[in-house]
Amino acid sequence: MSDKRLFDYLYDQLREHPLESAFGSKKDGEWRYVSTEQMVDWVNRASLGLLRLGLRPGDKVATVVYQAMPEWVALDYAMLQIGVLNVPMYPTISSREYEYILNESEAQYCFVGEGDLYEKVLSAKKKTSGLKEMLTFYDHPEARRWDSILAPADSDFAEVERIKSTIRPDDLATLIYTSGTTGNPKGVMLTHRNIVFNVEALRKLAPIRPGDRILSFLPVSHVYERVGVYAYTAYGGSVSFTGTDNLGGETGDLRAIRPHFFTCVPRLLEKVYERIYAKGLELKGLKRALFFWALGLAEHWDFGHKPQGLTAIKWKIADRLIFSKWREALGGEVRGMTTAASACPMKVLRTFNAAGIRVREGYGLTEASPALTFNAFDDEHTMLGTVGPVLEGVKIRIEPSGEYRPGEGEILAQSPGIMVGYYKQPEKTAEMIRYIDGERWLVTGDVGMLADGPGGLKYLKITDRKKELLKTSGGKYVAPTPIESVFKEHRLVEQAMVVGENRKFVSALLIPSAEGLKEWSQKHDIPWTNMPDMIQHPKVLERYQMLVERVNAFFGHVEQVKKFTLLPTQWEPIKTDGSEAELTPTLKLKRRVIMQKFEQEIEGMYQ
């Protein structure tokens, strides 16, 4: 087991393979890079600056940015080497959640990026007595810039070196707050050793060599990309930070950077797939026929696929005429990408891999910092339909107690990456950490099974979620119950169920209140006929759209309902026709039953 601290990776890079373009981002339309040497200089000067602010090991500093940048990386490493805990916050959460995180973590300072973040955090600051100051990564008339704290280059850094020498692998490195979809956010306490384990485990699997170009665009408030930044430093990659809105097109950053590697979420791959498919629909004649012929070939692709004879010739033609253009759209030099945070559709995985764009799924969670399993980039240790074999050093246990299918159960995990616990929340920690025969196991809340696969390994399949949470294809958790409760508070709604697991966005099935809708119809001079007819009436649909918009105002962007479907009959706890009831005896939703019964309506909202 490695005894490295996270900041050691930066000094390793400086000693072993220093880069002129170690970290970069676009400023005023131009890419600007920081060398490894300059990054180390920034880090030490920022560390001393933080100490001069009065911060000491164990203190907390919050950060929030829409897009990472070299300055954020410098500040993060600066905190790590003096034991100050970085508390990265999601840029899309509400001021109320900022208030909660800042208060519970006792963050003394907060560094914010561009956009509406300063105003949102400022609103929270008014109710956050411990937050001394907000600083910015850009020019703002009411705040100091981040670099105002940098100590002069010729300063005495003895105090920084002294503290750095006392930092141990098992010391806390960060507090990462979960999205709080089951209540208030929870601060996951991760040590240097927790995260270093992931960096070292993935080192053997990631196709990254010193000097390779990396494109980073996922939020560093999420452990997935945060650990990625440390890994890129360790592996010697040149990292270019951008945003998801800047990736595509002839002048997009994929073509500009021509990356060898990047991490992504399924929703991004779905968008690329949808764009590819839409372009195919625009083609005419022979070009259109060739496009969909190639897409048809991709449907039969699998790992280890080695076509022979005439089939091999067909694949070569498809690759030259169609697939090569897809690779060029991603920069032309991608050797691999990982996708995680939610399930990736099989058709998307097949299509990208068939086109020579190696996409691999992994599985983990913040509390495991994050990876537990991973599909390798060769064809011998990867399996479609799974999230891969367990990483070396990880144990997976399938706990079958409960209502599961044969071989299925709740996924428990053991790993050097498992969190210390939730900050100031021992009761919540006890819910996530279970002791079995004296061994400490993380309770993931996911349901799955282990399947035999290539290389004689066991591969993990995720089959369900035990916790009543949705996870969109963008990797965001959404708690449906609070949204449903707000809907049901309105007189026009009798019942509601929110859907969106592994989908692009959140939608809702709504059952109108017959009494409420009759009253509204009478008030607006709309003749009442019957419920099936009324839920098709344009004015009724317009009224429920207004209601959806009103409900959305209570929730964050990811939680907002984008589409809805009105259903004519109520869900019941008892069915007289012999079919399975939609409600439990205590009137709780049987979500799986409702999903099955109204599969067509749900699919209609996502077409």
Three-state SS for 324-390 is: HHHHHHCCCCCCEEEECCCCCCHHHHHHHHHCCCCEEEEEECHHHCCEEEECCCCCCCCCCCCCCEE
Q: What confidence category does residue 431 fall into, taking pLDDT thresholds of 50, 70 and 90?
A: very high
Per-residue pLDDT reduced to its tens digit, 42-60: 999 999 999 999 999 999 9
Strand-strand pairing, 371-374 and 561-566: unpaired
Query: CATH 3.40.50.12780 in the chain, residues?
Result: 8-167+206-258
Q: The domain 479-606: what is its CATH number?
A: 3.30.300.30
Which among 444, 311, 301, 443 has a CA at the least distance from the CA of 382? 301
Mean pLDDT confidence for 509-526: 91
The residues that bridge with 213 in the sheet, in sequence order, are 238
Q: What pLDDT is stored for residue 181 in this prediction?
A: 41
DSSP classification of residue 185: -
Average pLDDT estimate for 346-369: 94
- 155 pLDDT above the threshold of 80: yes
Give bridge partners of residue 109 from the DSSP assignment. Answer: 61, 133
183: left (phi over 0), alpha (psi -120 to 50) or beta: left
| Phi/psi of residue 527, nearest 5 degrees | -60, 130
More confident site: 94 or 335: 335
Q: What does the alpha-carbon distance between residue 494 and residue 237 come to, in Å, rounded to a whole number?
A: 55
224 pLDDT higher than 90: yes
DSSP H helical segments within 385-491, as ranges?
426-432, 480-488
Taking residues 107-125, what's their average pLDDT? 95
CA dihedral (412, 416, 418, 424) positive or negative:
positive
pLDDT band at residue 434 under the 50/70/90 scheme: very high
Report how far residue 203's alpha carbon sits from residue 261's, in angstroms, rounded to the nearest whole number.
13
pLDDT bracket for residue 576 (50, 70, 90) = low
Cis peptide before 370 (omega within 30 of 0): yes
How does 87-105 read in b/e, with b if 16+ C-beta sit within 10 Å?
bbbbbbbbbebbbbbbebb
pLDDT of 230 above 60: yes
**Average of per-residue pLDDT across 446-474:** 86
pLDDT at 578: 59
Domain with CATH 3.30.300.30 in the chain: 479-606
Mean pLDDT of 80-109: 93
Confidence of residue 342 (pLDDT cuts 50, 70, 90): confident
Q: How confident is the model at residue 593 (pLDDT cuts 50, 70, 90)?
A: confident
Which amino acid is present at 150?
Answer: L
This prediction's pTM? 0.81
Range in 14-28, 74-88, 238-252, 315-329 with the lowest mean pLDDT: 238-252
Fold of the CATH domain 8-167+206-258: Rossmann fold (3.40.50)
